[in-house]
Amino acid sequence: MKAPRRSGFPLGELAVFFAASLLAGGSGLALAFYRYLAGPEDPFTPVHPALPFWQHFHVLVVPALVLLLGVAWARHVHSSWASGKPRRTSGGALGLLSLAMVFSGPWCQTATSSGSRQLAGLLHTISGVVWLLLLLFHALQRVKNGR
């Protein structure tokens, strides 16, 4: 069996992590589009008809990403921080944004007032979009540096 890569991730786990990120991120972007940008097709309905599908899909695939974020923390983030070696700032920012993203998701679903639901949704959307962009930057930076 091949040893883990320098990042701590075996190639298979890395592929599954990026697949889960793609599914969760893509469904989250679709959800945000239908919630904030696309209005309802019928003036007598409160939401776009595609919104429930994307919301259900997002809620079903996100637990896989959360589990894999735990694996990433154990294999990659914690070992990097524990070694004391200087690392990329994008990785630390990804870790902090992960916390904001993961904890604001359930807050979106359990908020009881309209204001807190809007705040939770805004925090979740912003942290999710920035997290996706930063993950892409983090991965491309590694490829660019040839590591």
Ranges of each domain in the chain: 1-85, 88-147
pLDDT tens by residue, the chain, 147 residues:
455 566 667 788 888 999 999 999 999 999 999 988 887 777 888 888 999 999 999 999 999 999 999 888 887 776 767 777 656 677 778 888 999 999 999 999 899 999 999 999 999 999 999 999 999 988 887 766 655
Cβ contact 131:65 at 8 Å: no
Is the overall model pTM greater than 0.85, yes or no?
no
Report the candidate in 62, 66, 68 with the shortest Cα–Cα distance to residue 26: 62
CA 33 centroid distance within chain: 16
Report the candidate in 82, 80, 107 with the shortest Cα–Cα distance to residue 91: 80
